[in-house]
Amino acid sequence: MAPTLFHYPLVPMDDFPKHERKERCKLLVGTGAVVLLVVVAVALGALLIVYVKRANSEACQEGHRAVMECRNVTHLLEQELTRAQDGFRHAEAQVATCNQTVMTLMASLDKEKAHSLDAEKKVEELEGEITTLNQKLQDASMEVERLRGKNQDLSARIADQKDSTSSAAAPLLLILLLDLGARVL
C-alpha cells in the first residue's frame, strides 16, 4: 500500500479563534512539561541505579565496615576515658581529704607543741619553787636545830636556876619561845 499523505490546507492564523490558540499553547506546554518530567525521572532513575550499584560495591561495603569498627573503637575509648576521669576525680577527692587531714594534724601538733612548751615552763617554775622551798626548809631546819640547842641550854640553865630562883626564869623562857615562834613563821 502506498503511503497516504494528508495534506491540510494552510489556514492563516487569524482564522483560528483565540481560545483555540490558548488551548493549543497549553497542550504544548503540558506536553513539554510531561516530556521534561519523564526525562528528569529517567535521569534520576539512572543516577539512582548508579548510586545503588556503587553503594553495594565491595569497596563501599569495606568502607562501611571500617566506619562501624571506628565507631565501636571510639565508643570503647570514650568509656575508658570516662572511667579514667572518674578515677581521677576520686583520686583528687582523696588527695583533698588527705591534705585536710594533714592540715588538721599539723594544727594539732602545733597546739601540742605549745602545750608542751607551756608545761615545760611550768615544770621549770615549779622546780625553781621547790628548790627555793627546799632551801628555806633547810634554813628553817638549821634554825630549829640551833634553837633546840639554845632551848636545851636554856632548859638546863633554867633547871639549874630553878633551884636557885624559879620566878626569874619564867619571863626569860617566855621571851625565848616567842622569838622561836616568830622565826619559824
pLDDT in tens, 78-121: 999 999 999 999 999 999 999 999 999 999 999 999 999 999 99
132-175, pLDDT tens digit by residue?
A: 999 999 998 898 888 888 888 877 877 776 666 555 556 666 67
Grade residue 29 by pLDDT with cuts at 50, 70 and 90: confident
* pLDDT top residue among 72 and 155: 72
C-alpha cell at 156: 638546863
d(CA 18, CA 24): 10
The C-alpha cell 568509656 sits at: 79
pTM, rounded to two decimals: 0.39
Mean pLDDT of the residues in the chain: 82
Q: pLDDT at residue 31 above 60?
A: yes
* pLDDT top residue among 183 and 155: 155
Can you give the pLDDT at residue 148?
83
What are the two backbone dihedrals, phi and then psi, of residue 56, each rounded to the nearest 5 degrees? Answer: -90, 5
Q: Of all residues in the chain, what percent carry a pLDDT higher than 90?
A: 46
**DSSP per-residue codes, 145-181:** HHHHHHHHHHHHHHHHHHHH-HHHHHHHHHHHHHHHH
